[in-house]
Amino acid sequence: MTVVNFMRETAEPIVEKRDVIISLITLRCSARMVCRNIDNLADANSADRRLAKKHRASGGLLMDRAAEVIEARIAEREGAIKTWHDILSGIGCDIRAMSDYIDRLVPTKELLDVLEVNSVDRAKVGPSDGLKEIVFVKGLEDSATHRGSLWKEGPLFRAMSSYFMHAMDTVPELKNVVMDSLWGKGGMFEFVPSYSRNADGVFVRNPPKLRVADEAIDCKTGGVR
């Protein structure tokens, strides 16, 4: 992903700010297009899977052959979906790289305008919140579009999530840190069982770790004291 070079040492502040905003808008438009392609391909695959299953259930040789053709089409789309996810992850990487410049150069009000945060939802943004908090932590991007839904996912949110998942898959140390923080002592999922796949491909339940008898839960924080 190529974005405008907004980090020119000799640029005037107003020009630097303009370049940052243009880069952010460009990345948002690119992420939105990529997400649309992924969703369209995924929807087509869902419909084809139902059709292939119906053909397989008929038990006829011709229907089995038709199912094979459909399944080949599904596999081809899966390859395209992976390619688009790689592109989306690259956009997320660009956003992460430029987030500090955005926070430094773009006033919060203008940033909220670019991210299309509804006026009602702007009260949720604190004075120290930057791009990552607004988009990734609070999920306020395109907030009016996702009003009432349980899961808010604007294009930049999806791009940053894709980059995060890619980093989790490719950097074992990061994955270990995240898993320890979530399922470790005091973590959000400390008492939630996890599952792992054994050699036969079967998922096995891993019970949560036992707590030492003299440890107590802090009722206010939910942590251990």
Residue partners of 88: CB distance under 8 A and separation at least 6: 31, 34, 35, 38, 158, 159, 162, 163
Q: What percent of the chain has pLDDT over 70?
A: 70
Residue 208: other Cβ atoms inside 10 A? 12
Q: Tokens for 31? A: 């992420």
Residues 150 and 73 occupy one common structural domain: yes
Residues 30 and 63 occupy one common structural domain: yes
- The arithmetic mean of pLDDT across residues 179-186, rounded, is 64
- Whether residue 8 lies inside any domain: the answer is no
Q: For residue range 103-146, list pLDDT tens digits in order.
A: 999 999 999 999 999 988 899 999 899 999 999 888 899 888 77
Residues 113 and 218 occupy one common structural domain: no
Residues 36 and 136 occupy one common structural domain: yes
Residue 7: other Cβ atoms inside 10 A? 13
Q: For residue range 28-78, list pLDDT tens digits in order.
A: 999 999 999 999 999 999 999 999 999 999 888 999 999 999 999 999 999
Residues 156 and 126 occupy one common structural domain: yes
- Whether residue 1 lies inside any domain: the answer is no
Residue 213 has pLDDT above 80, yes or no: no
* pTM for this entry: 0.72
Residue 98 has φ and ψ, to the nearest 5°, of: -100, 0
Distance separating alpha carbons of residues 50 and 52, to the nearest angstrom:
6
Domain limits for position 24 = 13-170
The single-letter DSSP state of residue 5 is -
Distance separating alpha carbons of residues 103 and 129, to the nearest angstrom:
9
Mean pLDDT of all residues in the chain? 81
Residue 218 has pLDDT above 60, yes or no: no
Residues 100 and 161 occupy one common structural domain: yes
- Whether residue 44 lies inside any domain: the answer is yes
